[in-house]
Amino acid sequence: MHIPFTPAIATCLLLVLCGDNAAAKESRPPNLVYIMADDLGYGDLGCFGQKTIKTPHLDKLAKDGMKFTSYYAGNTVCRPSRLALWTGKHMGHTPISSNAQYHFKPEDITVAELLKEKGYATGGVGKWAMGGTGTSGHPNENGFDFWFGYLDQGQAHNYYPTHLWRNTEKIPLTGNVLSGNPKDRGRVAKIRSTYSHDLITAEALNFVRKNKSQPFLLHIHWTIPHANNEGGRATGDGMEIPDYGIYASRDWPSTKKGAAAMITRMDSDVGKLIVLLKELQLEKDTLVFFTSDNGPHSEGGHKHETFNSNGPLRGYKRDLYEGGIRVPTIAFWPGRIDAGSSCAEPLAFWDWLPTACELAGIGKPEDTDGLSFAPTLLGRASEQVSHPYLFWKYGKKQALRRAHWKFVLNAPQTPPELYDLRTDIGETSNLAGDKPDIVAELNLLMTQASR
């Protein structure tokens, strides 16, 4: 029997097809983009109180998304902080708690490995710190289909290196010539032509374009605004930038112009990413999460006090006071994260792995120290599980936060410090002498955490 193809049948078919597409789109796991600046302080963004440096794109991201006011780095320096991020473990359960060299072992499980098993395309750009070519620590050996950038965190001090790495391929950078001075450790260029940050950003955007048709995990680990420490010792100015942009005419020292220009350049690149996601119609399918690997630095001729980079917090990079570990953090996901929302829940780098797993629809490893903050992201704050405590260790320094109490031991023989973060976010009033019971409880937790 012949059934004529009528407009009514066409409409029904269209509804069915659209419904199927909508269901397929809804069931598709989200893209996850984790952006991590390097040495960006809690007070370095306008949306976190910065008055001088311009960060319009990140400020808009916070306005249109969620601002985290109690999100913590894994550590107060680079390598162990990234280790906590990749593995979902705090410093009591990681093999290092300082910038000591460490290469990932085959038994280490990373967030990239877990999502790759789920079918995600996995990519990363910027600074890697867990092993180079020929080692078990190379990113391709630890879940990343693609990596572009630095493999050695020391070499990442130099923004004008002779090469970067695309997976295991050495990529020469045109025109950059090193000083040749042994004191510079191969980290200072005397001729500067190709700026590494710009190439790293271009590769990140290209990864998004190439993988627009499938779920992807992308880690953007920019080196900005880290100083070139060796460059600072050689020339007095380690804030390497091709130009000072909107700060060029300011009557400031070059280090101050460079520090501000670095952050504003990075902010502009966040804007480029958001524009690309919109162009590819991926904006509503993608969580963009922005943060920093630790607190602000005073290196390369620049001082963190110049722009009040730690804001209301005490301390900076290499401290376990709030200024060294509490970092500016923003989450953006249109249609899923409420615009203008904020989160004061104490969370940390080791929570990213279980959060990514939940969003991707897979189980988290049993031995993680993290917990998923997906309920907070998705507007279900009443379902959010809280940490019994957060723990950090940097060399001999240790710190622990339980609820509003912050406990600090700067060395085994130094007097304990106790702060009530509800009323003393700047950690100015040590209450240890007045609260011996709290000190004893937190000291016991600290001992248990570091086993």
Q: Angle CA(220)–CA(222)–CA(228) in degrees, nearest 5? A: 160
Half-sphere exposure of 307 (CA within 13 A, CB side): 30
What pLDDT shows up at residue 26?
56
Model pLDDT for residues 17-48, shown as the tens digit of each residue: 444 444 445 578 999 999 999 999 999 999 99
Task: Decide if pLDDT at 286 tops 50.
Answer: yes
CATH class of the structural domain 396-451: alpha beta
What pLDDT shows up at residue 13?
40
Task: Decide if pLDDT at 16 tops 70.
Answer: no
Q: Please, which residues have CB within 8 angstroms of residue 386's CB and are 6 or more apart in sequence?
A: 345, 346
Between the alpha carbon of residue 103 and those of residues 46, 108, 128, 277, the distances in Å are 37, 10, 11, 34
- DSSP one-letter string for 366-402: TT-S----HHHHTT-GGGPPPPS-EEEEETTEEEEEE
User: What is the DSSP pairing of strand 397-402 with strand 390-394?
Assistant: antiparallel
Largest CA distance in the chain: 92
What pLDDT shows up at residue 450?
82
Task: Decide if pLDDT at 1 tops 90.
Answer: no
Mean pLDDT of 303-327: 98
Mean pLDDT of 205-233: 98
CATH of domain 27-386: 3.40.720.10
Q: Quote the CA–CA distance of 213 and 299 in Å, as a whole number.
A: 42
Q: Name the packing angle between helices 254-279 and 56-64 (round to 10°).
A: 50
Task: Decide if pLDDT at 346 tops 90.
Answer: yes
Q: Quote the CA–CA distance of 318 and 268 in Å, as a whole number.
A: 28
Model pLDDT for residues 123-182, shown as the tens digit of each residue: 999 999 999 999 999 999 999 999 999 999 999 999 999 999 999 999 999 999 999 999
Tokens encoding 149: 């950038």
What pLDDT shows up at residue 28?
86
Residues in the chain: 451
Mean pLDDT of 238-256: 98
What pLDDT shows up at residue 412?
84
Within the chain, all domains assigned CATH 3.40.720.10 are found at 27-386
Model pLDDT for residues 63-76, shown as the tens digit of each residue: 999 999 999 999 99
- Evaluate whether 330 touches 47 at the Cβ level (below 8 Å): yes
Q: Please, which residues have CB within 8 angstroms of residue 268's CB and are 6 or more apart in sequence?
A: 57
Q: Is the bond preceding residue 29 a cis peptide, omega within 30 degrees?
A: no
What pLDDT shows up at residue 2?
44
User: What is the DSSP pairing of strand 417-420 with strand 405-409?
Assistant: antiparallel
Q: Quote the CA–CA distance of 294 and 242 in Å, as a whole number.
A: 25
Model pLDDT for residues 87-96, shown as the tens digit of each residue: 999 999 999 9
Between the alpha carbon of residue 136 and those of residues 94, 103, 203, 227, the distances in Å are 17, 7, 24, 29
Task: Decide if pLDDT at 397 tops 80.
Answer: yes
Q: Quote the CA–CA distance of 149 and 128 in Å, as a whole number.
A: 8
Q: How confident is the model at residue 442 (pLDDT cuts 50, 70, 90)?
A: very high
- Evaluate whether 119 touches 216 at the Cβ level (below 8 Å): no
Half-sphere exposure of 373 (CA within 13 A, CB side): 26
Q: What is the pLDDT of the chain when averaged over all its residues?
A: 94
Q: What is the pTM of this model?
A: 0.94
Among residues 398, 406, 386, the alpha carbon closest in space to that of 450 is found at 398
Q: Quote the CA–CA distance of 14 and 20 in Å, as a whole number.
A: 10
Q: Quote the CA–CA distance of 169 and 166 in Å, as a whole number.
A: 5
- Residue 152: is it exposed, middle or buried by C-beta count within 10 angstroms (0-12/13-18/19+)? middle
Residues above pLDDT 70, as percent of the chain: 94
What pLDDT shows up at residue 14?
39
- Evaluate whether 386 touches 372 at the Cβ level (below 8 Å): no
Within the chain, all domains assigned CATH 3.30.1120.10 are found at 396-451
